[in-house]
Amino acid sequence: MATILLRTANSISSPGSTVKGTPLTNSEVDNNFSNINITLGVLSNLSTTANANLVSAINSITYAVGSSGNVLTSNGNVWASSALPASGLSYVVKSANYNINNNEGVLANTVPGAFTITLPASPAVGNQVVVADAGGAFGANALTIARNSSTIAGVAEDLVCDINDISVQLVYSGNTWEVYTQLGGNGGTAVTLTGTQTLTNKTLTSPVFTTPTLGVPASGNLISCTADGTNPVGYKNLPASSTKTTTYNPVASDAGKIIILGSGGNVTLTAGVFAAGDAFSIFNNTSSTITCNVQAVTTVYKSGFDTDVSTFDLSTRGIATIVFITSTVALVSGSIT
């Protein structure tokens, strides 16, 4: 079957045929319109017989009816009956690793376990996919969206979805997969990077706080918090250092602790280490008196005396406590001479 395109009454073209620049004659219509596929045209100046033949030829053209609701589509060569293209995303349910396609949504069920959905390779501008938490278990078993060589939100990292009941839409901008999220009814409030928010009933695992301001709670206790990774905030006891058996120069982190001196050990202070309010104790765990050197600090008073000392002797099994009044003035008290 030939396919001809009739643009005006003065032109006719057919694949592999010559364009005719003059009006069609009656005989040309009579002879050539018995088995054709007309795609567009305006015909005029035809005889009654030619018109009748043309109408008969058009009416004789048949196509496969196909299914109810189908439409005619062309691949450039032939017409075919096909279903009306879907206007939205098509969804699939997955609970294991899956390569998602453009214009596809995945209802992801991670109840059986975490898995990965891989984005399309070589995406085009406007490509989009949707991933939704169908099992309400992203918080327990996170879903990973693998970037497949592209970036996600401008970052060369996979996207880990670990909030329950979220839906994530990714749209390719030409440079990166942009991310748009929605929270379901049970999803709670998303934690943002810059917003001021209140977290309730949340467990923070190994958080890092930058210049935090800790308020006084109206009720409850601050527990399981440490000042240095080991010792509780506020020190319920005096954390002890390892036994020193050589000359030891106390450091700022010794504030609030007890320094234990063994055989051969002594304490020598260094200037500029401690601030006002810092304090630490020294325990002589030997059978002999130990001399401690505090000369580097501008002024060190013995408790109860208006005398600046450069050294003091710590009695056997005795304890001395040094408290800094300022960074350059300190007070020493205890089993000292």
Q: If you average pLDDT over residues 7-24, what whole number do you get?
A: 45
pLDDT at 71: 73
Task: Give the pLDDT band of residue 303 (cuts 50, 70, 90).
Answer: very high
Q: If you average pLDDT over residues 9-26, what whole number do you get?
A: 47
Task: Give the pLDDT band of residue 92 (cuts 50, 70, 90).
Answer: very high
Give the residues across from 179 on adjacent strands.
170
What contacts 278, CB < 8 A, 6 or more positions away? 252, 255, 256, 323, 324
- Chain-centroid distance of CA 127 in Å reads 20
pLDDT at 219: 58
Q: What distance in Å separates the CA atoms of residue 180 and residue 105, rounded to the nearest whole number? A: 14
pLDDT, tens digit (0-9, with 9 covering 90-100), for 46-80: 566 666 666 665 555 555 555 676 777 777 777 77
| CB-side neighbour CA atoms (13 Å) of 239 | 17
- 0.75 cut: is pTM over it? no
Q: If you average pLDDT over residues 139-152, what whole number do you get?
A: 94
pLDDT, tens digit (0-9, with 9 covering 90-100), for 260-271: 999 999 999 999
pLDDT of 40 above 60: no
Task: Give the pLDDT band of residue 244 (cuts 50, 70, 90).
Answer: very high
pLDDT at 148: 96
Is 293 buried (19+), middle (13-18) or exposed (0-12) by CB count in 10 A?
middle
Q: What distance in Å separates the CA atoms of residue 51 and residue 59, rounded to the nearest whole number? A: 12
Query: Tokens at residue 238, please?
Result: 């005096």
Q: If you average pLDDT over residues 241-269, what whole number do you get?
A: 94
Task: Give the pLDDT band of residue 168 (cuts 50, 70, 90).
Answer: very high
pLDDT at 107: 96
pLDDT, tens digit (0-9, with 9 covering 90-100), for 275-285: 999 999 999 99
Question: For tokens 């089993």, what's the residue?
Answer: 335
pLDDT at 15: 44
Q: What distance in Å separates the CA atoms of residue 129 and residue 104, rounded to the nearest whole number? A: 5
pLDDT of 124 above 70: yes
Is 307 buried (19+), middle (13-18) or exposed (0-12) by CB count in 10 A?
exposed
Query: Tokens at residue 282, please?
Result: 């020294």
pLDDT at 203: 77
User: Distances from the Cα of 242 to the Cαs of 10, 239, 249, 266, 320, in angstroms?
Assistant: 106, 10, 13, 13, 17
pLDDT at 208: 77
pLDDT, tens digit (0-9, with 9 covering 90-100), for 175-229: 999 999 887 665 555 555 566 767 777 777 777 777 766 665 555 666 666 666 6
Mean pLDDT, the chain, rounded, equals 79
Q: What is the CA radius of gyration of the chain?
A: 43
What contacts 301, CB < 8 A, 6 or more positions away? 307, 308, 309, 329, 330, 331, 332
Share of the chain above pLDDT 70, in %: 66
Between strands 329-334 and 319-324, the pairing is: antiparallel
pLDDT at 248: 95
pLDDT at 271: 93
Q: What distance in Å separates the CA atoms of residue 167 and residue 163, rounded to the nearest whole number? A: 10
The residue that leads in pLDDT, 168 or 197, is: 168
